[in-house]
Amino acid sequence: MRRLALFLLLALAPAARADEQLVVGLTEDVIHISSSFTGAEFVVYGTVETIDAFKDADERDIVIVVRGPNRTETVRRRERIAGIWVNADAAIFGNVPSFYHVASTAPLDRITAPAVLKRKSIGLDNLALEEPDRRDAASFRKALVRNRTAAALYVEDIGGVEMNGPALFQARIAMPANVPVGAYTVEAYLFRSGQEISAYSAPLVIDKVGLERTLFDVAHAYSAFYGVAVILLGVLIGLGAAFAFRERD
């Protein structure tokens, strides 16, 4: 009898939650980086599609996460030896988002359980990084997050999702001038009383245009040639400057 009751409860639970769905849009789904690029901003907006938007509206919470392409990153520890700062140690992390922005209607630990945040990789403390097998990995991880936060590449914006009425919402996402290019994902989650009710995912592309695009392609396709060309260009500029100053003397 207990098994039958549990089965009926599980079977009916999705139906009870299916009356609320997220409908989400982006003001920009492609951001171009040119020589004059100083950063960009786009808006994630949407609504909770439901029969009665006012019913228990205060129990809803929205979380929006923007993730950049994952990379492998090396975190270095500097020490002062004989009066000179040198790289004394390093740790390598994998699966590191090149950009991460989370915005929410309330503090994350008040929206849902820590286990859910961990599973969804929501919040800077819950990033699913591939950490090195060493005792001090936590300190290197903190340094990684701290450095990216200082560069405006990692943002945790509590209260950054604004509710416009019981069902409409929006969040402004700022992209700094040093934002990496690549394929991004924009995720939106609807929580009610700690339970995930609906989720949405959309792509976002950040790409270079013009001369920056050409140089980027050449640097990646012909890395050795590009490196030699940059060195030769530097040498020529140095020789030209030396010649100009010598003529003046």
The predicted-structure confidence for 140-179, as pLDDT tens digits, reads as follows 999 999 999 999 999 999 999 999 989 999 999 999 999 9
The predicted-structure confidence for 193-219, as pLDDT tens digits, reads as follows 899 999 999 999 999 874 454 444 444
pLDDT, position 56: 83
Q: Which residue has the tokens 């993730």?
A: 67
Question: What is the end-to-end Cα distance of the chain in Å, rounded?
Answer: 101
Residue 47: strand, helix, or coil = strand
Which pair of tokens denotes residue 232? Answer: 């030769």
CA–CA separation, 41 vs 53, rounded Å?
A: 29
Q: Residues 112-130: what's their mean pLDDT?
A: 95
pLDDT, position 231: 65
pTM for the model stands at 0.77
pLDDT band at 12 (very low <50, low <70, confident <90, very high): very low
Q: Which CATH number fits domain 18-208: 2.60.40.1930, 3.90.580.10, 3.30.70.2500, 1.10.357.10?
A: 2.60.40.1930
Q: Residues 108-112: what's their mean pLDDT?
A: 95
Which pair of tokens denotes residue 182? Answer: 């690549």
* HSE value, Cβ hemisphere, 13 Å, CA-based, for 40: 20
Most confident of 13-27, 34-48, 147-161, 233-247: 147-161
The predicted-structure confidence for 34-92, as pLDDT tens digits, reads as follows 888 899 999 999 999 988 888 888 899 999 999 999 999 999 887 766 666 666 788 99
Q: What is the DSSP string of 107-148?
A: -HHHHS-HHHHHHHT-SGGG---B--SSTTHHHHHHHHHHHH
Q: What is the DSSP string of 80-115?
A: EETTEEEEEEEEEEEEEES-EEEEESS-HHHHS-HH
The two counts, helices (H) then strands (E), for the chain are 6, 12
Burial class (CB in 10 A: 0-12, 13-18, 19+), 189: buried
